[in-house]
């Protein structure tokens, strides 16, 4: 089937390229100083995390506070790989994580196939089996990856150093996303069966557990370079505007294409009415898992990019209270709105990192976090449906109406998989 090139996608990609080129030129010329480009990069990273959360909460209706935990996993995973390459001059991080991700992925997939034939397996039992399989796969991955480290390091050393470090960075970001997604799959398997608020609380617990583990990463798990609660330093600052823009576009296009497919309609139907969706023959558990895993993958990517912006990570950045930041962004952007989420993410970064840092009068610097919640409250009271409401760029226009709490039962996913 020949792909029709329609006007809206030409406009969208053209506009995006233009935007990228303009900002890139401004950065190269030096009009946008490091400080401002930092804000833009953080905005883009927040946009990626929030798009992931929007997929989970906005489109699939699962109230997740775990996004920040997956973000943390991505950040630390990627930072460790690039740190090992740039400071310890070994690619063992990349090979080990690659192998672990591969074997764990295979184990999850294989066990999933196997267990789908067993009827009447309860969640906890299934989870136990998965846990054992994942542990075995991780062990295997570490062993195989360890033996591959030497040759791969040699191979990468043969390349020009700049290219090699960019390559390592690219793989680190991708692997971070994959690892976050696999953890999400494993964790989501039992937890996604909980009711909405309880799911939120369990995922909040996940974020806190991740933070505690990171606090003790050096003393209890032997990751010396992560330095536990003292904060990890010396991560190469590889995240350029090009990389964040590339990944943001990737995430936007994936989200958009997903939502325009029958799978996406199935995801949305779960949000609208779970029981009705089930009655239409939609595998509710599968689509909850799909959205959760994909959203967490985005969080992992974003975390990896974030780690390489400042070259510094601290477990306090991944405090549970910050896990509300993406939630705030998607609510302001309008739940289930892609354009709104991106706009709100950049707005949030500009407001919090830019305006409130620069324009508070002298002596009032500590008022930053007093003004921020006040703005939050005023905004929430005045525009509870989000800043942009239901505005959406034509390219991203949904096939289904946006989330409306007052219209339950609008399960229109007739195109769901039979």
Residues that bind other proteins (CB under 8 A): 63, 118-129, 131, 190-191, 193-195, 197-198, 200-202, 205-206, 208-209, 212-213, 215-216, 219-220, 320-321, 324, 327-328, 331, 335, 366-370, 372-374, 376-377, 380-381, 384, 405
Is residue 254 packed enough to be buried (19+ CB in 10 Å), middle (13-18) or exposed (0-12)?
middle
| Least Å from the CB of residue 337 to other proteins | 14
| Least Å from the CB of residue 212 to other proteins | 4
Helices (H), 54-160: 67-86, 92-115, 123-158
Residue 153 in contact with residue 76, Cβ under 8 Å?
no
Question: Looking at beta carbons only, is 133 or 301 nearer to other proteins?
Answer: 133
Helices (H), 159-236: 161-191, 196-215, 217-221
| Least Å from the CB of residue 194 to other proteins | 5
Question: Looking at beta carbons only, is 24 or 319 nearer to other proteins?
Answer: 319
Neighbours of 113 (CB within 10 A): 9
CA distance 296 to 293: 5
C-alpha pair distances (Å), 159 with each of 20, 81, 125, 167: 29, 18, 48, 10
Structure tokens at 244: 């964040």
Question: Looking at beta carbons only, is 287 or 320 nearer to other proteins?
Answer: 320
Question: Looking at beta carbons only, is 113 or 117 nearer to other proteins?
Answer: 117
Residue 63 in contact with residue 200, Cβ under 8 Å?
yes
Question: Looking at beta carbons only, is 361 or 384 nearer to other proteins?
Answer: 384
Question: Looking at beta carbons only, is 177 or 315 nearer to other proteins?
Answer: 315
C-alpha pair distances (Å), 30 with each of 17, 109, 236: 20, 48, 21
| Least Å from the CB of residue 284 to other proteins | 14
CA distance 79 to 53: 22
CA distance 97 to 337: 34
The position carrying tokens 């991505």 is 74
| Least Å from the CB of residue 71 to other proteins | 17
| Least Å from the CB of residue 327 to other proteins | 7
Question: Looking at beta carbons only, is 76 or 243 nearer to other proteins?
Answer: 76
| Least Å from the CB of residue 400 to other proteins | 18
Partners of 313 in beta bridges = 232
| Least Å from the CB of residue 125 to other proteins | 3
340 sits in the region (left: phi over 0; alpha: psi -120 to 50; else beta) called alpha
Question: Looking at beta carbons only, is 211 or 398 nearer to other proteins?
Answer: 211
Residues 6+ apart with CB under 8 A from 55: 255, 258, 267, 291, 294, 295, 298
| Least Å from the CB of residue 242 to other proteins | 33
Residue 290 in contact with residue 278, Cβ under 8 Å?
no
| Least Å from the CB of residue 218 to other proteins | 11
Question: Looking at beta carbons only, is 34 or 197 nearer to other proteins?
Answer: 197
Structure tokens at 125: 């039992």
Question: Looking at beta carbons only, is 3 or 366 nearer to other proteins?
Answer: 366
The position carrying tokens 């909405």 is 196
Pairing assessment for the beta strands 232-233 and 312-313 based on DSSP bridges: antiparallel
């Amino acid at each position: 089937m020949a792909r029709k090139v329609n006007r809206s996608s030409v406009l969208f990609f053209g506009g995006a390229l233009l935007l990228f080129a303009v900002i890139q030129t401004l950065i190269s010329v030096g009009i946008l100083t490091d400080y401002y480009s930092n804000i833009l990069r953080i905005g883009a990273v927040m946009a990626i995390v929030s798009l992931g959360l929007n997929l989970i909460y906005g489109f699939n209706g699962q109230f997740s506070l775990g996004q920040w935990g997956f973000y943390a996993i991505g950040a630390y995973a990627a930072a460790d790989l690039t740190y090992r390459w740039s400071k310890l001059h070994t690619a063992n991080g990349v090979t080990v994580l690659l192998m672990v991700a591969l074997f764990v992925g295979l184990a999850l997939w294989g066990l999933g196939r196997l267990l789908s034939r067993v009827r009447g397996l309860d969640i906890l039992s299934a989870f136990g089996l998965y846990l054992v399989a994942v542990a075995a796969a991780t062990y295997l991955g570490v062993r195989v990856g360890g033996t591959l480290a030497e040759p791969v390091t040699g191979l990468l050393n043969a390349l020009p150093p700049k290219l090699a470090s960019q390559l390592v960075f690219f793989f680190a970001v991708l692997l971070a996303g994959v690892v976050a997604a696999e953890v999400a799959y494993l964790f989501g398997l039992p937890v996604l069966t909980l009711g909405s608020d309880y799911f939120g609380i369990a995922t909040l617990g996940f974020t806190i557990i991740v933070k505690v583990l990171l606090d003790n990463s050096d003393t209890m798990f032997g990751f010396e370079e992560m330095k536990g609660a003292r904060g990890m330093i010396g991560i190469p600052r590889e995240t350029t505007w090009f990389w964040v823009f590339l990944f943001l576009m990737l995430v936007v296009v994936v989200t958009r294409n997903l939502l325009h497919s029958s799978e996406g309609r199935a995801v949305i139907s779960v949000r609208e009415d779970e029981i009705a969706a089930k009655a239409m023959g939609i595998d509710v558990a599968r689509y909850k898992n799909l959205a959760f895993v994909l959203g967490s993958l985005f969080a992992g990517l974003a975390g990896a990019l974030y780690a390489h912006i400042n070259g510094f990570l601290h477990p306090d950045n991944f405090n549970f209270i910050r896990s509300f930041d993406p939630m705030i962004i998607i609510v302001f952007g309008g739940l289930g709105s892609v354009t709104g989420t991106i706009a709100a993410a950049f707005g949030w970064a500009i407001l919090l990192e830019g305006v409130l840092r620069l324009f508070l009068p002298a002596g009032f610097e500590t008022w930053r976090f007093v003004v921020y919640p006040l703005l939050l409250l005023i905004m929430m009271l005045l525009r509870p449906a989000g800043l942009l409401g239901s505005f959406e760029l034509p390219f991203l226009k949904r096939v289904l109406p946006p989330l409306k709490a007052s219209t339950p039962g609008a399960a229109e996913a007739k195109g769901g998989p039979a």
